[in-house]
Structure 1
């Protein structure tokens, strides 16, 4: 890289904070730092043209966990931990709405639904049986029942009689959200450089030397908000998890409205712009989907096609418009990692597939670590 005097002076000299990753966490962290240190020089580095991981690639669910997901989490986390996670997701969603406005993110409180395939009877029965218990433990957060049985009015096929409805779930437009966040960052004098990859960094006495290939510069503090790409930083406590997605062409008279979960949240779909967006299937090949490669596989895309045709739109003509994937950051615990790694290096990663819900909060927490 060969920079001019002006470029070096304006972008890479006297940098107070360098944030790696321009997604939900990175930009919220930058905005929180701007509030805390009004005169500071803040630089955000992004390796993609747009945020590379999941921030512009997710399905736009403003959710905190379906009933079966919560029951699943209770098998590997304590009741207290699960309640804390849900509280955090709920608080994070309110913070996102407050920071950007419901209009800017196209927030639509249509509610969320969970459906169960006919051959998923054991999970279905467990959810119906434990529904009152989960409502009970969530009362302190929501003051009301969260989950209720509802008859399917969407004409889905091959599913159990009842859906589980959650009125507190909503949908957003992921693209509008990130556009609003980027605009807010620029308005607050936060510099964002795209297609710049940090290749290494070295802690020094009162700064960090950051290498971008053959060029390096100094920053007083370095913050990583790279979620699914953070494995090396955190001794592999974060594993990448690819999520594959497809979307249809517009469908006339589409009557499906809401966010929908299937198979413990491994599949999810929603309406957007008269289309159906459907994603998931990671559970068909956990090993293969533990990757940072933004591709698709026939195994998972074929399964998505089958669910779309046989369950969601069995009596409808439609065409697939587009397919893509995003990278989440998961681990053995659903608790995010917000840590000071050394004197001047910090990270806010492992969002557990809940970036829309907790990204703003993790960004705030990451900035709060910096003294």
Structure 2
């Protein structure tokens, strides 16, 4: 780096806290550190032009798990763990709304729906059977039944006539949310440098030496908020998971409002600006989609387009306007990792595809570790 005296003095000298990653977790970490340590020098390093990963690339679901996801989670997690996961996601959503305000994030409480294809009757019946039990274990948290059946009124095709509705689910504008968080950070005198990749670090007991290519600086504490890119930090406990997404051109007289789930959450769609945004399909080829490389594949994109034509928009003419992908952080457990890696190094990662819901909470917990 060809840095001046002023650049070295203002950005890289006497740094108290350096956060790697300017996504939902990283920004909430920085903001909570500012609340705890008002006079500290806080620096955020971001390897992308915009926050990489999933923070600016997600579908904007303010959700905590569809009924089929929850039923599936109960196979690999205890009842207490599942309730705790949902509680933390719900708590995180309230923290996000409180910090930014519903207007800033374009919060729309349209509710969420789960669709079941006709050939998936066994899953539908299994979820119906489990519905009273799931409502019972979640009632202490929500003070009401979370899930109920509703007749499909959206004109979907090839599905069971009943959807499972969740009135507590909502949608947000992901771009507005991230802009609001970034504005908050700048207003709190938090320094943000984009297109900076941490290539190495060394904990020196009383400080951490951080390498940005061939340039090194020191910071008192180093906090990683890199989610799907955190594999090397956690000895393999975090695996990247690519999510492919597409969005249609505006559709005249579109009468679909809400957030929608299909196939245990592996597919998800919503309305936005008279368009349908649809993502998912990594279950078609887990091996290929467990990657930190952005991009699309024919097999996933073809499946997404098939769902649009045959299930979601059978009565509409539509065209695809844009495609993209994001990188999530998954693992054998859906419990996030918030831990101290060494004397002065910490991480908050593995959000399990629930970054919008849980990111605020994980950022706060990460800041509290210091």
Q: Partners of 2:315 and 2:218 in 1: how far apart?
A: 60
Q: In the TM superposition, what are the counterparts of 1:306-345 in structure 2 within 5 Å?
A: 306-345=306-345
- 1:56-71 equivalence runs, <5 A: 56-71=56-71
Deviation at 1:2, TM superposition (A): 1.5
In 1, Cα distance between equivalents of 2:141 and 2:262: 24
In the other structure, the counterpart of 1:81 is: 81
Q: Which residue of structure 1 lines up, in the alignment, with residue 266 of structure 2?
A: 266
User: Which residue of 2 is the match for residue 221 of structure 1?
Assistant: 221
Residue 356 (str. 1) matches residue 356 (str. 2): yes
Distance 2:247 2:351 in 1: 24
**Does 1:194 pair with 2:197?**
no
In 2: Cα distance, 1:129 partner to 1:138 partner: 16
**After TM superposition, which residue ranges in structure 1, 4 or more long, deviate above 2 angstroms?**
none
CA distance in 2 between partners of 1:130 and 1:347 (Å): 36
The 5 Å alignment of 1:294-313 reads 294-313=294-313
Q: CA RMSD in A?
A: 0.4
Partners of 1:329 and 1:119 in 2: how far apart?
30
Structure 2 counterpart SS, 1:265: coil
Question: Scaled by the length of structure 1, what TM-score is found?
Answer: 0.99
Q: What are the equivalent positions in structure 2 for 1:95-114 lying under 5 Å apart?
A: 95-114=95-114
When normalised by structure 2's length, the TM-score is 1.00
Q: For residue 289 of structure 2, give the secondary structure of its aligned residue in structure 1.
A: coil
**Alignment map for 1:17-36 (pairs within 5 Å):** 17-36=17-36
- Matching residue of 2:252: 252
Give distance in 2, aligned partners of 1:129 and 1:160.
15
Matched residues in 1 for 2:120 and 2:192: separation? 47
Count of residues paired in the alignment: 370
In structure 2, what is the Cα distance between the partners aligned to 1:119 and 1:125? 12
* 1:183 has 2:183 as partner: yes
Q: Whole-Å Cα distance in 2 between the matches of residues 145 and 214 of structure 1?
A: 57
2:275 matched residue in structure 1:
275
Per-residue deviation, 1:317: 0.6
CA apart distance, 1:7:
0.4
Q: Deviations over 1:144-169 (max 9, x none)?
A: 00000000000000001200000000
The equivalent residue for 1:209 is 209
Which SS does the other structure have where 1:146 is aligned? coil
Match of 1:166 in 2: 166
> Which secondary structure state, in structure 1, belongs to the residue aligned with residue 222 of structure 2?
strand
- The 2-side partners of 1:119 and 1:286 are apart by 22
CA distance in 2, matches of 1:67, 1:163: 11
Residue 368 (structure 2) aligns with: 368
- Structure 1 residue 316, shift from structure 2 partner: 0.6
Displacement of 1:111: 0.1
Residue ranges of structure 2 left out of the alignment (5+ in a row): none
Question: Displacement of 1:173 after TM fit?
Answer: 0.2
In structure 1, C-alpha distance between the alignment counterparts of 2:203 and 2:87, rounded to whole Å: 36
Shift of 1:205: 2.4
Deviations 1:114-153 (A, max 9, x none): 0001111111110111101100000110010000000000
3-state SS of 1:352 partner: coil
SS in 1 for 2:232: coil
**1:227-279 per-position Cα deviation (integer Å, ceiling 9, x unaligned):** 00000000010000000000000011100000000000000000000000000
SS in 2 for 1:113: strand
Q: Give 3-state SS (helix, strand or coil) of 2:139's partner.
A: helix
